[in-house]
Structure 1
Amino acid sequence: MATTADIKNGIVLILDGQLWQVVEFQHVKPGKGGAFVRTKLKNIVQGKTVDKTFNAGAKIETATVDRRDYQYLYQDGESYVFMDEQDFDQLSVPETIVGDAAKFLLEQQEVQIAMYQGEPLYIEMPPSVVLEITYTEPGLQGDRSNAGTKPATVETGAEIQVPLFIDQGTRVKVDTRTGEYLGRVND
């Protein structure tokens, strides 16, 4: 058993038999009354977020979540197949657990998969990925980056907004959390 002093961002708690990941926390010591910890928790299975307050020093149950590096291999129907980079075992992860990460998954992409009691909980993508634009309307001569945006489809099939001067075949850096265009990649 841990206490509220052990709460950190990313730690997984077991509350009422469900797994909750700490998104944010704040230790509060008011001038009057006892100290407490204010948290924002995300349900790992359902994805909903709630605010919860714990009294300072309260006992909490933490889950041991194993995060390992995997390499994405291919999609097999409604599941995605990953290879463990340490022992080369293959892991099939359902589409529901992969979620929005599927928009930016390329073969050979390295990700982290959080496991609890041998079951995958969620996938952590790198903060950004480099993808090639497969389709976008042609840009006009003289268009600049602050002139506006247009839709573009990347090689994974996801649609993002890019500046008007970006053409088909350009490699761009994309934020995996928001799907935002971060810049061109020259290589």
Structure 2
Amino acid sequence: MMATTNDIKNGMVLDLDGQLWSVIWFQHHKPGKGGAMVKTTLKNVMSGKTVDKTFNAGLKIETANVDKRDMQYLYHDGDSYVFMDNATYDQLNIPESVVGDAKDFLLDNQEAMVALHEGIPLYIELPASVELLIDYTEPGLQGDRSSGGTKPAKLETGREIQVPLFITSGEKVKVDTRDGSYLGRVQG
């Protein structure tokens, strides 16, 4: 599909010389002299590499048709992760390289958004935060509550994150899926 650089928005996927790039940041820029430009930060959909690229405003660009579908994570099988399309119940094997860091936050039956281009999985978007159990963390020392310190804790998915000293093994915590940061305890 053709578009112009004036149509660029976050999340759009561009097809530049046969490579797919997702727009993660853009800004329209009009210098005092000369034509307007669109500055972008693009992420290569396959490799995850990011680049900064500036386009002239109004330039024709090729966009990729990306089909975003709600899917449910079923299980891990060798070097792929099996998801089920919530609409069709079709199962899709997604390679570990596409799943990326999302694997650190995936539990069986978890919902995720899978982006496909011509049937090929490009990337996975998780909810902004997930609730996971602390598999193991060293016991905190009494009197540590005031220091505001943190300690490593291993989540049920195997990912290690930093948590406040008062968190104990077996507790459920809320975790930011973008950077693995601790967001709080889950009550109940």
Name the TM-score class by shorter chain: over 0.9
User: Are the aligned partners of 1:25 and 1:38 in contact in 2 as well (CA < 8 Å)?
Assistant: yes
Alignment correspondent of 2:124: 123
**Residue identity opposite 2:155 in structure 1:** V
- For 1:80, the equivalent position in structure 2 comes to 81
Match in the other structure for 1:112: 113
Structure 1 contact 65–116 (Cα < 8 Å) conserved? yes
- Once the two structures are superposed, the pairs formed by residues 145-164 of structure 1 within 5 Å of their partners are 146-164=147-165
Q: 1:138 to 1:26 in 2, by over 3 A?
A: same
AA of the residue aligned to 1:170:
E
Q: What is the TM-score of this pair, normalised by structure 2? A: 0.97
Distance 2:24 2:174 in 1: 25
Superposed CA deviations along residues 44-73 of structure 1, whole A, max 9, x for unmatched, are 111111111111111000000000000000
Corresponding position of 2:185: 184
Distance 1:169 1:52, change over 3 A: same
TM-score (norm 1): 0.97
Given that 1:145 and 1:163 are in contact with CA atoms closer than 8 Å, whether structure 2 keeps it comes out as no
Residue aligned with 1:97, SS: helix
Aligned residue for 2:52? 51
- The residue that corresponds to 1:141 in the other structure is 142
Task: List alignment gaps of at least 5 residues for structure 1.
Answer: none
Could you tell me which residue of structure 2 aligns to residue 102 of structure 1? Answer: 103
Q: Could you give the per-residue CA deviations for residues 72-123 of structure 1, whole angstroms, max 9, x where no partner exists? A: 0011111111111011111111111111111110001100000000110111
Percent identity over paired residues = 70
| Residues 124 and 146 (structure 1), Cα distance of their counterparts in 2 relative to 1, 3 Å cut | farther
For residue 145 of structure 1, report the CA deviation from its aligned partner.
6.5
CA 1:145–1:158 in structure 2 vs 1: closer, same or farther (change >3 Å)?
Answer: farther
Shift of 1:142: 2.6
Shift of 1:140: 1.9
Within the alignment, does 1:69 sit opposite 2:70 as a pair?
yes
Is there any run of 5+ residues in structure 2 with no aligned partner, and where? Answer: none
Aligned to 1:170: 171
Aligned counterparts of 1:46 and 1:80: Cα–Cα separation in 2: 18
8 Å CA contact 1:145, 1:165 repeated in 2: no
Residue in structure 1 matched with residue 37 of structure 2 by the alignment: 36
My pick for the range that moved more, 141-150 or 24-33, is 141-150
Aligned residues: 187
CA RMSD of superposed structures (Å): 1.0
